[in-house]
């Protein structure tokens, strides 16, 4: 069964996609790694970014972590605060 998750975008990822959030269709039991692969497929421009991390419910997530459709998911390009 396919579900769609909503992914928040910031910084360069928002500029590259022209959107502040994207809906990504994923199979049930999909992981953070699956999400990144799908995003790279749909938005090839993301490949030019130095590193892309994913946060789930406000915490950095490993690529094995499984996703649920109600999770708050965000793409985290290299940070540059300070």
Rg, C-alpha atoms of the chain? 12
CB 67 within 8 A of CB 2: no
10 vs 34, beta carbon nearer other proteins? 10
Decide whether 3 or 11 has the Cβ nearer to other proteins.
11
Between 2 and 80, name the residue whose CB sits nearer to other proteins. Answer: 80
Question: Per DSSP, what are the bridge partners of residue 53?
Answer: 76
Residue corresponding to tokens 């998750």: 5
**Alpha carbon of 1 to those of 4, 30, 44, 45: distances in Å?**
10, 11, 25, 28
The residues binding other proteins (CB under 8 A) are 8, 10-12, 15, 48-50, 55, 58-60, 74, 76-82
């Amino acid at each position: 069964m396919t579900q769609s998750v909503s992914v928040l975008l910031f910084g360069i990822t928002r500029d590259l996609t022209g959107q502040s959030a994207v809906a990504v269709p994923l199979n049930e039991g999909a992981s953070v790694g699956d999400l990144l692969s799908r995003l790279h497929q749909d938005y090839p421009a993301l490949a030019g970014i130095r590193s892309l991390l994913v946060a789930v419910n406000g915490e950095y997530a490993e690529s094995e972590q499984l996703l649920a459709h109600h999770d708050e998911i965000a793409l985290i390009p290299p940070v540059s605060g300070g």
